[in-house]
Amino acid sequence: MNNKNFVSVLLLFLTFNLYSQDNLYSSLTIDPELTKNANAVVRNETIGIEVKAYNKMVYTNKRIITILNKAGNKKHGAIMGYDNKINIKKIEAVIYNEFGKEIKKIKKNDFVDVSAVDGGTLYSDSRIKYLDYTPINYPYTIVFETEVEYNSTAFIPSWRPIEGFYVSTQNAEYKIINTSNVEIKVKATNFNSFNIEKHSNYHYTAKGLKAIKPESYSPSFREYTPYLRAALTTFDMEGIKGVNNDWDDFGKWVYNDLTKNTQVLPQKVKDEIKTLTTNAETDIDKAKIIYEYMQNKTRYISVQVGIGGWKPMLASDVDRLGYGDCKGLSNYTKALLDEVGVESHYAIIYGGKGIRDFDKDFSVVQGNHAILGIPNNNDYIWLECTSQTVPFGYNANFTDDRDALVITPDGGKIVHTKIYKTSDNLQASKAVINLDSKGNVLAQITIESSGTQYSYHEGLQNEILKDQELHYKADYWDDINKLEIVSMAFDNNKDSIVFTENVDVSVNKYALVTGGRMLFEPNMFNKISDAPPRYRNRKLPFEIERGFTDIDEYKIILSNKLEVEAIQDDVLIENQFGIYSNTIKKTSDSTLLFKRTFILNKGTFNKEDYKAFRAFWLKVVKHDKSKAVIKLNI
């Protein structure tokens, strides 16, 4: 073979090797379909879990991921948590450039080792090792390998073959090997709509899963993407054995092994709270007194030591120290209520603005928060014990409208928390607006907020004056130029759970004066300025998690040099998404009365309805900006 032919064959071999689908270290071999909408592509990930006993398992993972751009850097997944029950036996990473050439190797000691919690946590025994790599060029590929031994089996790693938005998956595998004599429960959801193959109850593979882009108002990512969870029916949490055939079993374990014998109080405290509640007529009256007592005496600090962050501090320690986390404070409040004869139950829940339920049909360690439930006429009053200011029984926007696991001596019970109805989530605004011939405005506004809308406003009274003014000028009424705050007063009625704002403002040249006429927007103080984004081909259904009701009424007083020339006709729009009405009437030669109602309904809707939903919003935006024509008689 001559040199020319040899070189040609060599180049052909190298080219074939470079672009072969087996070359997962090179970004050049990625299927272009997997790079659409993607910041990163999981080339191959193999997760293996060997359960050796009810209290021992080994986790192995080899992960190859190509990072396509800067936004994909946080998707590398080269991170592992540990504590004194988790032993990282192997952790390493290798970085490859676009062509699959090795450019950096990271050994175990090269990973950054930090506490797993932020500065808001008083103390914790959880730590993480993570890869801190600053790329020179994109794309690049990381091969991450780890082997971890767990001496606690309460948390069997779950599997999400699509890890999140803007990440696609070329190949993924999840396999559990059970060499123990303990049954393992597995539940897979949303697998049918994706390219996932089931080889056995404990072995699955996935391939060619395209990246998903987020869409406005879409349900939570976990609601429509594939997800697998596993749990042992007999497990260990840091030395404490538990049985988990169902929620009843799990609840008994929490009660008997985590909360029992943690609620002993000092005698001095017992005497004090009994004196405080002597004249209380009902159990609810007692509970309100106890709740306020707890709020005034304690503060929230995260504490994540002990049994996986699940066992509450002793009530006596919370009382002595004056602080606790959600578990400790809820447990302490329960101890106080028990002492005065008021029944209550410790409850585990997912806390957060987004609504997330427990899976009623699959008992496994779930939740990230603890609250307290007081039985009340076949329902519960829910107490958020981590806040020093929230009203008694108020849980909107954090633990509302979702399932909680209520812990009782007889076992765990799934109970749904309070749903705040659309009509309850009310913001009612009234204003007197004085308009002069130069377009200047003096106005007195009263805003009353309740339901979920209460928490959007409450707390403002505790801010410094500068921040209160900025709230109105730069945020709440940021569409009004040259607005100045004349005075502010606030009333936080924690009994009725209504927050009232009384604000006087002045606005220089609010109305546009031109050609002997004035263009004036009557809806000064509750304007919707933007509609949800447009999607040419929406992929996902959409959801309104919480409905609300806004009612506005403004009396507009014109100076004696002004005369109404034209006003908008009445507007009424009703559909499945809500109601919008807008009216303005002339009540005298110098007075207009503007009324507006906007009701947005809670609900889940098909993707085909999104166009109509957006059209509804666009109409609201349009009519909120409608103008009255005022004639100047000068």
3-state helix/strand/coil string of 156-186: CCCECCCCCCCEEEEEEEEEEEECCCCCEEE
Is-contact 439 518, C-beta < 8 A? yes
Look up residue 396 and give its two tokens.
Answer: 């909107």
Angle at which helix 326-339 crosses helix 283-297, to 10 degrees, equals: 140
Look up residue 563 and give its two tokens.
Answer: 């005369």
- Which whole-number Å values give the CA distances from 527 to 5, 51, 140, 378, 629, in the listed order? 75, 58, 47, 41, 19
> pLDDT category, 535, cuts 50, 70, 90?
very high
Across the chain, what does the average pLDDT equal?
93
Torsion sign across C-alpha atoms 381, 385, 387, 388: positive
By percentage, how much of the chain surpasses pLDDT 90? 89
> pLDDT category, 12, cuts 50, 70, 90?
very low
Q: Which has the minimum average pLDDT: 9-18, 42-51, 435-444? A: 9-18
**CATH number for the 7-237 domain, one of 3.40.50.300, 3.40.50.2000, 3.20.20.70, 2.60.40.3140?**
2.60.40.3140
pLDDT at 220: 93
Residue 275: pLDDT over 70: yes
Torsion sign across C-alpha atoms 280, 284, 287, 292: negative
Domain ranges in the chain with CATH number 2.60.120.1130: 426-632
Look up residue 132 and give its two tokens.
Answer: 């801190």
Rounded to 10 degrees, what is the CA torsion of 219, 207, 537, 71?
Answer: 70
Domain ranges in the chain with CATH number 2.60.40.3140: 7-237
Alpha-carbon gap, residue 386 to 303, rounded angstroms: 12
Alpha-carbon gap, residue 486 to 432, rounded angstroms: 14
By percentage, how much of the chain surpasses pLDDT 70? 94
Summarize pLDDT for 540-593 with one digit per residue, the tens: 999 999 999 999 999 999 999 899 999 999 999 999 999 999 999 999 999 999
Per-residue pLDDT, averaged over 154-174, amounts to 97
- The CATH topology of domain 246-416 is C8orf32 fold (3.10.620)
pLDDT at 556: 98
Is-contact 113 127, C-beta < 8 A? yes
Residue 43: pLDDT over 50: yes
Burial class for 160, CB neighbours closer than 10 Å (0-12, 13-18, 19+)? middle
The whole-model pTM stands at 0.91
Angle at which helix 267-276 crosses helix 326-339, to 10 degrees, equals: 70
Per-residue pLDDT, averaged over 368-396, amounts to 96
Domain ranges in the chain with CATH number 3.10.620.30: 246-416
Summarize pLDDT for 211-233 with one digit per residue, the tens: 999 999 999 999 999 999 999 99
pLDDT at 118: 57
Residue 129: pLDDT over 70: yes
- The CATH topology of domain 426-632 is Jelly Rolls (2.60.120)
Cβ atoms < 10 Å from Cβ of 183: 12
> pLDDT category, 85, cuts 50, 70, 90?
confident
Cα of 83 vs its chain's centroid, Å: 27
Alpha-carbon gap, residue 595 to 567, rounded angstroms: 13
